[in-house]
Structures are given as structure tokens and as C-alpha cells.
Amino acid sequence: MPYTYEDVGATREDRCPPGFHRLHVRSRIGEGEAVFRRASEALMTWELHRAMGVRMVSDADKAAPGVDVTVGLGLIKAPCRVVWTAEEPRRTAWAYGTLSGHPECGEEAFVVHRTGDGTVWLTVTAFSRAAKWYARAGGAATRGLQRVYAQRCGKVLRRLCAPHDQT
């Protein structure tokens, strides 16, 4: 199944093609190598999304280029394909692009990054435009929901990475 947009992989360079709406949300997750490792694991194995209550249906246990995944939110099923991944000493990331049947057209990237001072961040970037009538009808409200979703990703990942009491 082909992608529903032309500039596949643009999120790797943090580019937004003309005619698309851009999203950029950065959330502080915590500090240290252990938090980075835990955040990276939760990101790459779909755990972050599933902890948010999102259905992630895929034959693969982990994000990898070419892996198809159907994202489910309520009655909406959104088919996607992982476009690129990165697993580096201070950066773990993946992005997926929309396939036919997705209510939006575009790409979304999830990046866990550990800065030089040890702070761990999640950055969600995307470019999108409506593909289905109901996404077009939502207009600015649809974009607002995308921003809330990206902010929630940060809150849920922070909770997943928080130390648990051992009492």
C-alpha cells in the first residue's frame, strides 16, 4: 500500500512540506541514563501508545522501517507505516507515515533525546492535512486534538519512566 503523501521521511530533517500543518511539542521526561533507556524502550515497543489507551496493531514487536501499524482511537482505524527509526547513544526515534484509509495525510515522529546535562525529552513533530471528510470538518479543532495528544504522550511517558517505590 502506498503512502498518501509525497515527502516521505521529511520528519527526519524536521521539515514540513508546503500545504501541511506543522506540529511541534516538546516535553521533559526526567533525567539520567536509566530514564533515557526506559523511555527509549517504551517508545520503540509501542508501550507508550498503548499506555495512552491507543490500539497499536502490528505484526512487529518493535518499530522498524517498513513495519505496518494500524493506530486505533475509538472507532477510527488509522493505517500507517514506519518510515524511519534511530537508535543512538543519546537519541531514540521513529516516525510513521499515513497509508490509504487514514483520516489524515502526513507523517508523525516521536523522538526521545538525552541532552548533555542528562535531561531526557520527548519531542513529537508532525506535518498533516485532512484526508477524510470528518477530519476536514474538524478544522482547527482537529489540529488542537493533535496537540493535546502530543502533550499527553509526554505526560504518559514521564509516568512510565518515574521511579516506583519499592516499599
Q: Please give the DSSP secondary-structure letter assigned to residue 34.
A: H
Q: What is the grid cell recorded at 86?
A: 534511530
pLDDT value, residue 73? 82
Sign of CA dihedral 11, 14, 20, 22: positive
pLDDT value, residue 166? 47
CATH number for 10-161 (one of 1.10.1750.10, 3.30.530.20, 1.10.10.60, 3.90.1150.10): it is: 3.30.530.20
Question: From CA 123, how far away is CA 33, in angstroms rounded?
Answer: 17
pLDDT value, residue 167? 44
Per-residue pLDDT of the chain (167 residues; tens, 9 = 90+): 899 999 999 999 999 999 999 999 999 999 999 999 999 999 999 999 999 999 999 999 999 999 999 998 888 899 999 999 999 999 999 999 999 989 899 999 999 999 999 999 999 999 999 888 777 787 777 788 889 999 999 999 999 999 765 44
Sign of CA dihedral 5, 6, 12, 17: negative
This prediction's pTM: 0.93
Distances (CA, A) of 68 to 37, 57, 95, 96, 103: 24, 8, 12, 9, 16
pLDDT value, residue 16? 95
